[in-house]
Amino acid sequence: MGEFSHIDKDGKANMVDVGHKMPQIREAKAVGIICLEPHTIELIKENALKKGDVLTIAEIAGIQAAKRTSDLIPLCHTLQITKAEVKCSIIEKGVQVNTRVKCIGQTGVEMEALTAASIALLTIYDMCKAVDKSMIISKITLTEKTKTDLK
């Protein structure tokens, strides 16, 4: 088993020990899309859905999700997030969600960025499900990850 394996020699799952790593500025970005019917897009634009302002609520849900990622994914480290951005934008066929998460730590924030995008998209789905039965969530992708030494 390699240094970064989550399975020990007895076949048990464990968190990776990152205690030997120096803290660095870590950043990750992710994106995802939800395809919606044209009528649903118009309802979102007009803020006319019964559950409220879809884009703002989805953005807040995504931020909350980034902060709670280690509660959702069993072997994910708990991180002190220093920045979480979630931006929902209407596109031709639906809504695109872009996320950016930063921390100063010993491991990256990829899972937090992906979780933020996923939960923001699921929130949109939940808020629109009464009016759109053909929604498709797709293309949830990590678009960038960086680490920079502290100065």
Is 10 tagged catalytic?
A: no
pLDDT of residue 4: 45
pLDDT of residue 6: 58
pLDDT of residue 3: 44
The correct CATH number of 24-149 out of 3.30.2270.10, 3.20.20.70, 3.30.360.10, 3.30.70.640 is: 3.30.70.640
pLDDT of residue 10: 73
CA atoms within 13 A on the CB side of 110: 11
Catalytic residue among 10, 71, 126, 149: 126
Ordered by start, the domain boundaries in the chain are 24-149
> Does the pTM of the predicted model rise above 0.85?
yes
Q: Which structure tokens are listed for 21?
A: 């790593």
Q: Which structure tokens are listed for 84?
A: 């979480």
Residue 108: closest CA among 141, 69, 140, 74: 69
In which residue ranges of the chain is pLDDT below 70? Answer: 1-8
